[in-house]
Amino acid sequence: MVIVMAKRKKIKKSFKIVFIFIVLLIVIIGSLFTYNTFFKKSKSEATSEVEKLMKEYNIDSKKYSKTLEFVLLNNIYNEKYLTEYQDIEYTDKDNFANIITTFLPKGYSGKEINYIMKLSTKNIDKLSNIDYKDISNYYEFKNFDVNKIARYNAYYEENDYNYQDVVTYVNINLDLPVYTETTEVNDPNSLSVLVNKYNYLPNGYKPSDISYLPGAYGNNVPMREVIIEPFKELQKAAEEEAGINFMPTTAFRDYSFQKTLYNNYVASDGVKEADTYSARPGYSEHQTGLSIDLKNTNISGSTRLNEEDYEWLSNNAYRFGFIIRFPQDKTYITGYQFENWHIRYVGLDAAKIIYENDLTLEEYIDLYVTDY
CA distance 168 to 208: 33
HSE-up of 310 (CA within 13 Å, CB side)? 16
CA distance 67 to 72: 9
DSSP string of 218-262, one letter each residue:
SPEEEEEGGGHHHHHHHHHHHHHHH---EEEEE----HHHHHHHH
CA proximity to 163, closest of 134, 190, 191, 204: 134
Pairing of strands 183-184, 199-200: parallel
Contact 210, 222 (CB under 8 A): yes
Catalytic residue among 339, 356, 362, 363: 339
Q: Determine whether 233 is an active site residue.
A: no
CA distance 276 to 336: 5
CA distance 80 to 301: 78
Instruction: Note the residue count of the chain.
Output: 372
Contact 273, 282 (CB under 8 A): no
- Residue 193 phi, psi (nearest 5): -60, 135
HSE-up of 143 (CA within 13 Å, CB side)? 20
Cβ neighbours of residue 68 closer than 8 Å, sequence gap 6 or more: 54, 59, 77, 82, 85, 86
Which amino acid is present at 159? N
Count of helices and strands (H, E) across the chain: 16, 8
Contact 368, 353 (CB under 8 A): yes
Q: b vs e for 227-264, b when ≥16 Cβ sit within 10 Å of the residue's Cβ?
A: bbebbeebbebbeeebebebbbbbbbbbbeebeebbee
Widest distance between CA atoms in the chain: 118
- Active-site residues: which are they? 339
